[in-house]
Structure formats: C-alpha cells, structure tokens
Amino acid sequence: MSRVNIDSLTKEYDSAGGSIVAVDGLDLTIDDGEFVVFVGPSGCGKSTTLRCVGGLETVTEGSIRFGDEDVTDQKPKERDIAMVFQNYALYPHMTARENMAFGLKMSTELSSEEIDERVQATAEMLSIEELLEDKPKALSGGQQQRVALGRAIVRDPEVFLMDEPLSNLDAKLRAQMRTELQQLQSELDVTTVYVTHDQTEAMTMGDRIVVLDDGQLQQVGTPLECYHRPANQFVAGFLGSPPMNFLRVEADLEQQELQNAVFTLPLSESVATEIDSSELVLGIRPEHIELTDTPETHGEPSRLVEADVTVTEPMGDVTNVYLDIGGESVTVTTDGKTGASPGDQLYMHVPAAKMHLFDRETGEAIKHSDEPIDAADSPTATESTSPAETA
Amino acid sequence: MPHTTKQFRERLADVQLGDALPFYSRLSEEQRFAYKLLAPALAMMCLIHLLPIVWGTLISFMGVDSSYVQEWYRAPFVGVENYSYVLDPRTVVGGRFWFAIRQTVIFAVGSLVVTYVLGLTAALILNQKFTGRFVARTLLLLPWVAPVVVTLLIWRMMFQQQSGIINHVLLSIGLINEPIYWLIGDNTIWTLVLTHSWTQFPLVMIMLYAGLQGIPDQLYEAASIDGAGRWEKFRYITFPQLKPVSAVVVLLVMLWTMINFTAPFVLLGAQPPQAGQVGILYIYEFAFSNYQFGRGAAMSVVLFLIAMTMAMIYYKYLFDDDFAEGDR
C-alpha cells in the first residue's frame, strides 16, 4: 500500500500531423488505501494516465511517485502493481491457477507451495476454487473476470490498477461485481486506481472521482461533490443520468434577473454579486425541477416557466418527462405516478437553491445548488477543489 | 449456355452423381452443389496424386523390370517379394536403402530444426518495430520466392571446395585451416540440410510472423505487470501462443523435406556421395538406372508409409496434448 503522487504528468504521442497530447499536466495525489475513479469520455486520457502509472507507457513530462519512491522511469515489474484489464487479458494457454500463480512466480522468491497456498486463499476469497483447473476458454465472462481479479489480488500489490474491468459484463453482473469490488477493496485496503467511462460506476464506487476531459483534469472530489458542486459545465453535464439541463440565459444585473427568449427568472442579490459576465448557462438537474399544471396556486409563481411536454419515459419508479421550452429541450424526472402526457402544457418550477450557473465562454461554475454533499448532511463542510463558491 | 447462377445451379442439379457415389445421396442439397463445384479440382488431384500412389503400390507387388518396361501390366505378380528384398539389411540394396532412410530422417529432422530456428528468429525480428521493416520482409522472403533450382545452383557454386566463396570466407577469417569438402564425403548431408533450410525458412518465417501478429498486446502488458522479462515473455507467452501454427509448420516442413527431390538432386547430382544419398534420391537412382521399377516402387511405398506414420504419431501426440490450447 502506498500513496500515489502524480506531478504535472504529460503524455504526448507522435502522429503524422505532429504530436497528440493525451494527458496534459495532470496533478493528483491519491491517498494510501484510497479508491479513486478516473472518469471521462473516450479519449479523455484516463486510460493513458493509468497506463503511465502502471509503467506501460513512458511519461513525456512530469513524475509519478509511490510513497517516497520515484517510479517515473521504472519498468512495470519494478513497481509492485497489479492490473485488471478490460478484456481480462488472461493467458489463454494457462489454467486459472497458473494464471494466478504467474505473477508470483515471476516477481517473488516464494516456493511453489507458498504460491499454491496464496492462490488457494485468494480463490477461496473470490469463490473460484472450482475453476482453478480450467482454462480461460472454458470460463464465462464473469468467471474470467474473477480470475483476472484474483490474479491481481494474489500479488498483494502496492497499487491496484483497473482499466474498465466491468465493461465487458452484462448489466446484472456488472451491478453485482460493482458492490463486490468495493467490498474487496475496502477489505484489502489497497490503493486503487479505477478507470471507467461509466458514470454510475464512478459515482458509486470511488472514494473520490477524477473527472478528465481532453487530457485535462476537470475536477477531483467525492462523488457527491462532483455531482452537486461541479467545477464546470463539462463535469455537470457528464455526471448524472439523465444529464443536467442547460439553458442559455443572459443576466440582467440591474433588474437582478436571468433572461432568455422565453422566460425570465429572478436572481438573488448574493448570486448577482458573483456574476461578472452576462452570457451564462443555467444548469438544473432533472430531479430538481417540479412540474405543476396549476400555476395559480403555486407558492413561487415568479420562478415558473411554461413548457410543452414532448415525450414521456415511464421507468416505473420515476418517469422522465421531456419538455420543449422555446425550441430547447429540458428533461424532468418526476415520480412514476405523474399524469403528464405528450402535448400537455405544464409549468416547471426552477428552485433558486438548486440552480447552477456557468460562464458561457469558459464553462466555469459561478453558482452551485445547495444540495448537501457529505454524509453529515451539511452543505458546506467539505473541502472541494472546485474553484467556485457555493451559493 | 446457362447465363445466370440460377440457371447454372439448375443445370448442375441435373447432373446425376448419386449412382456413382453411394454416400452422395445422404448429402444435403448445399453439399451436393459444393461437391459438383469441387469435382474438376478433385479430378485433377486424383490424376496427379491418387493415381500414381495406386499405380505405384500396384507395381510394388509386381516384378516390373527392364523386360516389362513397355508392358508393365504383363509383369508377374510377386507378392511381397520386392518388399522383402529391399528391406533385407543383409543385401547390398537393402543395406543401402536403410542407410538412405536414415539419412532421410537426418535430413528431415536437421532441416526442421534449422528452418524453425531461422524462421522463428526472422519472424521475431520482423515483429519488432523498426524502420525498413517492409524492405527487410521482402528481402527475407527472397530465398523462397526465387526459383529453387537457381538458388541451389548458386549454393553449389558457393560450396565448391577450391573455388567456393564459403571456404574462402571461412579460411580468411581463420575459422578453418584447410578447405572443407562440402559436396563430397560425409559432410554432404549437412550441406543438404543447410541449403534446403535456406530455401524453406522464409515460409516458416511468414507463417510464424502471422502467428505473432495474432498475439494480443495485452497479454504482454499483463505479463509485464506480472513481472516477466523479455525471455519470460517469450517462454511463457509467445512460444505457447505460437503452438498451433508451429504444429502445422513442423509437420509441413518435415513431410516436404522427406520427399524433397530437388535439393539433393541439384546439389549432389544423380550419383551423390553416400552420405548425401537420401531415400528419394536412392530410389530414383536404383529404379531408373537399373530398370528395377517393381523394387523401386516398393521402396517408395516404404518411404511413403514412414512419412505417413511419423505424421500420424505427431498428430496423435498433438491432439492428445490439446491442440486448441494455444487458441485465443
């Protein structure tokens, strides 16, 4: 176990038209025993970063340290890491047992009895003792996954690296493995770097998540921090399903309101003082919008916006209602009993406290929702790397 | 003339093969169509391969010698007499035949080892990323693409005891003190092995190279993480992963070498030194210079059976050992 320090890591690839920057000056410290999830769209540099940490890619600039040891130029075998690959990368010609024993055989001086013991213990932990004599070909995807995991765990490494390990599994198995992996990680207490493009995995598994886009760090924080206090519009739009709604608005600071061709929303004074640009994007999560068909009786009529229902998506527990506001689409998640149907005209309530505002040009967050982001339910206590203040 | 595939199919469907081939009636429509399409090629195969095998086997039981060259079918049936004659190590012919078989096995196994090692080395080099890789690949294929007789004649010149460049080079760098006789005496079998391997290794190289390209990079990455070095990666990943293609290559090279006529004939001539007289060359010399076709045919059948037996033992061993285990 050790702390991982990534210091202004840059990775460039040569290509025909010059070089491609895959990772651009990434700084990150991962605490001992922490479970950190790298998340972002394809090509955001998350896998490249992981591979740099694993020593599978050379680093163009910057350094990587495990504890006090600089491992930047070390070969993978010198780093005491274990990795789980997306398609498992089990050795096809070896049995599950041989697959698991291989790393110990290569990197330790253990006797074959000791190796056998450790493989057996790990197999029991993962309940794959029955599969030990089978070759990968004879195993199902989920079983291969477990063997791959076992191959990593048996090494008892300083750092676990996992490159989208669940993405080849079917949905049900993925959900099951998700919780199992979390349990395992907290039991083993090994520093873990986990790469995924799946925001559900990111939200549910990590102690902290690292959101990357285009090779650059967007935000580091606990899942709820990133969800409720997104540093910028990218993070806000990337996390959450259905994603956050974005509406282009202009701020009229004299009138203290947000305007757009279709609606006007009042702006509180405290927020207005934060704003230094009039070109803004209003963000609001689907679950934070309320729908009403009786605007007359609503307690805050000034914050109601008229909208037409275009599509409804009943999911059972909730229903996603898609609305049209002057040509822009807005998604609202309501409870499953909603009576809305396409063609209806409704009013949506945009609560000031739940509203996010972003600078349209830079994408930087100006105002956040006031949702609590830690277990203690206090909205402000957690330290966030987000540059924006909470409103 | 049928103009469309449909018409062609209908026309073919009229062809009645069912009477001639009893198994034919059990085949599906699709398979029947396939067999009809295969028929011309199969006919050629029968003419070129099957017919001589049957004919040769037939002759091996008959006393075909110089007096029956014109009308072989009039020769008397002699049972296994030809076989007992050529297989008896106490006779001159039998003794020389067994020696030739021994040399054939040395030729086959020696060529196999040299070809495989050369081919694998070349394939591993080609599999590295370096500039000029494509040029290198073309150059390495040349020995196989070039007309084999030309290649062999050039080797023969190079192996000359007095004027050959090989002795010249070996002498000048001090590896040998006096010129070696490559083309006469006991060395000839090794000259054969080297020369034949030279013409065959590019095929092995290209097949193993294709095999190497099929090994997923992630296996090497996983092995790096697991702490394997270069040698361990070769030993535990590359080599096992090449097993299926290696199996095919080994069998092909071995069989092709056992029945190879061109290399020994061009290199050593029709009357080679005894060490270089491999089975096929001895059979040729014996049968055609002495007009002993019945006995020659018997030797051919023996060589054929030895090659087949080796192939079958090899395959049995291979399948027992799970042929598919190198599969991905």
- pLDDT tens per residue across span A31-60: 999 999 999 998 899 999 999 999 999 999
Min Cα separation A369/chain B (Å):
43
Question: Which chain A residues contact residue B221 at CB under 8 A?
Answer: 56, 76, 83, 85, 89
Is B225 in Cβ contact with A103 (below 8 Å)? Answer: yes
Distance CA B326, CA B328 (A): 6
Min Cα separation A81/chain B (Å):
7
Is B236 in Cβ contact with A151 (below 8 Å)? Answer: no
List the domains of chain B with CATH numbers.
5-49 (no CATH), 81-326 (1.10.3720.10)
Distance CA A106, CA B232 (A): 8
The answer to whether B64 touches B75, Cβ cutoff 8 Å, is: yes
Task: Provide the sign of the torsion angle of the four alpha carbons A282, A283, A289, A293, taken in this order.
Answer: positive
Note the Cα B1 to chain centre separation in Å. Answer: 43
Is A55 in Cβ contact with B224 (below 8 Å)? Answer: yes
Using a CB–CB cutoff of 8 Å, tell me whether A159 touches chain B: no
Q: Which residues of B touch A (CB under 8 A)?
A: 216, 218-219, 221-229, 232, 236-237, 240-241, 243, 324-328
Is A103 in Cβ contact with B221 (below 8 Å)? Answer: no
The DSSP-derived string for B200-228 is: HHHHHHHHHHHHHHTS-HHHHHHHHHTT-
Closest residue in chain A to residue B242, using alpha carbons only: A93
Using a CB–CB cutoff of 8 Å, tell me whether A248 touches chain B: no
Q: What is the mean pLDDT of residues A70-77?
A: 92
Min Cα separation A238/chain B (Å):
29
Question: Which chain B residues contact residue A81 at CB under 8 A?
Answer: 225
In this predicted structure, what is the pLDDT of residue A383? 42
Residue A121 has pLDDT above 90, yes or no: yes
User: Beta-strand (E) ranges in A171-235?
Assistant: 191-196, 208-213, 216-221
Which helix (H) or strand (E) element contains residue A26? strand A18-30
Using a CB–CB cutoff of 8 Å, tell me whether A55 touches chain B: yes
Average pLDDT in chain A: 89
Substitution target from B225, B233, B239, B322 for chain A, most A beta carbons within 10 A: B225
Q: What is the mean pLDDT of residues A354-367?
A: 91
Question: Which chain A residues contact residue B229 at CB under 8 A?
Answer: 77
Amino acid code (one letter) for B115 = T
- Report the percentage of chain A scoring pLDDT > 70: 95
SS3 annotation, B80-99:
CHHHHHHHCCCCHHHHHHHH
Residue-wise pLDDT tens digits, A82-96 = 999 999 999 999 999
Q: How much of chain B is helix, strand and coil, in % rounded to 5?
A: 75, 0, 25
Q: What is the mean pLDDT of residues A167-186?
A: 89
Closest residue in chain B to residue A155, using alpha carbons only: B226
Min Cα separation A82/chain B (Å):
6
Residue B187: Cβ within 10 Å count = 16
SS3 B162: coil
Is B218 in Cβ contact with A89 (below 8 Å)? Answer: yes
Closest residue in chain B to residue A107, using alpha carbons only: B227
Q: What is the DSSP letter of A243?
A: P
Q: What is the DSSP letter of B173?
A: T
Residue-wise pLDDT tens digits, A366-383 = 888 888 877 554 444 344
Using a CB–CB cutoff of 8 Å, tell me whether A82 touches chain B: yes
Is A54 in Cβ contact with B225 (below 8 Å)? Answer: yes
Is B218 in Cβ contact with A87 (below 8 Å)? Answer: yes
Q: What is the DSSP letter of B187?
A: T
Using a CB–CB cutoff of 8 Å, tell me whether A87 touches chain B: yes
Residue by residue, pLDDT tens for chain B (328 residues) are 556 677 777 766 666 655 566 677 777 888 888 888 999 999 999 999 899 999 999 999 998 888 887 888 888 888 889 999 989 888 888 999 999 999 999 999 999 999 999 999 999 999 988 888 889 988 988 888 889 999 999 999 998 888 888 888 998 998 888 888 888 888 889 999 999 999 999 999 999 999 999 999 999 999 999 999 999 999 999 999 999 899 889 988 999 999 899 999 998 887 888 888 899 999 998 898 888 899 999 999 999 999 888 888 888 877 655 544 444 3
In this predicted structure, what is the pLDDT of residue A380? 41
Q: What is the mean pLDDT of residues A324-332?
A: 91
Judging by beta carbons within 10 Å of its beta carbon (0-12, 13-18, 19+), is residue B2 exposed, middle or buried? exposed
Confidence tier at A257 by pLDDT (50, 70, 90):
confident
Is A93 in Cβ contact with B225 (below 8 Å)? Answer: no
Question: Which chain A residues contact residue B237 at CB under 8 A?
Answer: 91
Question: Which chain B residues contact residue A89 at CB under 8 A?
Answer: 216, 218-219, 221-222
Q: Reply yes or no: is the peptide bond before residue A243 cis, omega within 30 of 0.
A: no
At a CB cut-off of 8 Å and minimum separation 6, what does B220 contact? B233, B237
- Return the number of CB contacts < 8 Å for A and B: 72
Of residues A372 and A206, the one with the higher pLDDT is A206
Distance CA A66, CA A79 (A): 8
Min Cα separation A77/chain B (Å):
4
Min Cα separation B247/chain A (Å):
15
The answer to whether A264 touches A256, Cβ cutoff 8 Å, is: no
Question: Which chain B residues contact residue A93 at CB under 8 A?
Answer: 240-241, 243, 325-326
Is A102 in Cβ contact with B236 (below 8 Å)? Answer: yes
Using a CB–CB cutoff of 8 Å, tell me whether A205 touches chain B: no
In this predicted structure, what is the pLDDT of residue A274? 81
Which helix (H) or strand (E) element contains residue A259? strand A257-259
Is B226 in Cβ contact with A151 (below 8 Å)? Answer: yes
Question: Which chain A residues contact residue B243 at CB under 8 A?
Answer: 93
Is B224 in Cβ contact with A107 (below 8 Å)? Answer: no
List the domains of chain A with CATH numbers.
4-228 (3.40.50.300), 243-367 (2.40.50.140)
Residue A298 has pLDDT above 90, yes or no: no
Using a CB–CB cutoff of 8 Å, tell me whether A54 touches chain B: yes
